[in-house]
Amino acid sequence: MIAFDYQRREAEDDAHPGIPLDSPERRESARILRAARLDPLGPSPMEAVFDNREEALSSTNLVILVQWAGEYADSLPLLESEARQAEALGRLARAALLAARNPALAWAQGSFLALAARAGAHLGREKEALDHLGLLVPWLERSPAWSVNFPFTVCHAAETLWILGRADHAEVVERALTLLAVADHDEAVMHARRSRPGDAEQGRARLESALQQFEALGMAGWARRAAELAGRFG
């Protein structure tokens, strides 16, 4: 009930509808829900209140395991099994994992805005992309890092600016960026491609920083990519 009450209050907020609020009560309710091991495709936002990957791994919710913990390989067969069972029972909405337009789903608005901004940038619709990015700014400023799709939302915002070659709200986007290990890796890629004097040393430093974070976070695929890139620096 605590989780539902918070979501109700957030959805009814006139100034910032849907943006999550953090509190000790909400964290405790999320811990209790994770320990209860409920529906593996249940409302993940109620369980997704935590500070680190270890806490995310304590959940049996498949959405959390994929989007927050990065357990793609182990979760895929479980998701496929859930989809097959849902189809067999005629529960097509569950099988498709689609969300209807509903005020109770205001918590997803931030990720929708980020996707719209990125899509607009890719399509060359600069004003449309920047308008969506402007509406996204309060989500980047106010949302806790555990918010649904937050890492993806920030990355879509960053990609929007990168594609457009703009710096609108860049400080907000940079402050919210949570995938810093990937950013370090991509900076090393830039040094490898540019190959100016001093780039090899700077690239190696950025790559070492990225690799340490990949290993600490269990990002095995990115760790392999970083090891391959290391060969380009000699």
CA dist 203 and 183 (Å) reads 12
97 contact partners, CB below 8 Å, separation of at least 6: 41
pTM exceeding 0.75: no
Output the CA angle 63-44-85, nearest 5 degrees: 55
User: DSSP H helical segments within the chain, as ranges?
Assistant: 2-11, 24-36, 44-47, 53-57, 62-67, 72-88, 92-96, 109-122, 126-142, 150-164, 170-176, 180-194, 199-217, 220-230
Dihedral sign of CA atoms 39, 43, 48, 49 in order = negative
Least confident span in 29-33, 66-70, 144-148:
66-70
The percentage of residues in the chain with a pLDDT greater than 90, rounded to a whole number, is 38
pLDDT at 43 over 50: yes
Per-residue confidence (pLDDT) for residue 34, from 0 to 100:
92
pLDDT digits (tens, 9 = 90+) for 202-218: 999 999 999 998 888 77
pLDDT, average across residues 42-61: 86
Residue 17 main-chain phi, psi, to 5 deg: -65, 130
Which amino acid belongs to residue 39? D
Nearest to 153 by CA among 203, 120, 118: 118
Place of tokens 């106010």: 142
pLDDT at 154 over 70: yes
Tokens of 78: 């479980």
pLDDT digits (tens, 9 = 90+) for 73-123: 788 788 788 878 877 777 655 555 744 455 656 777 888 889 889 988 988
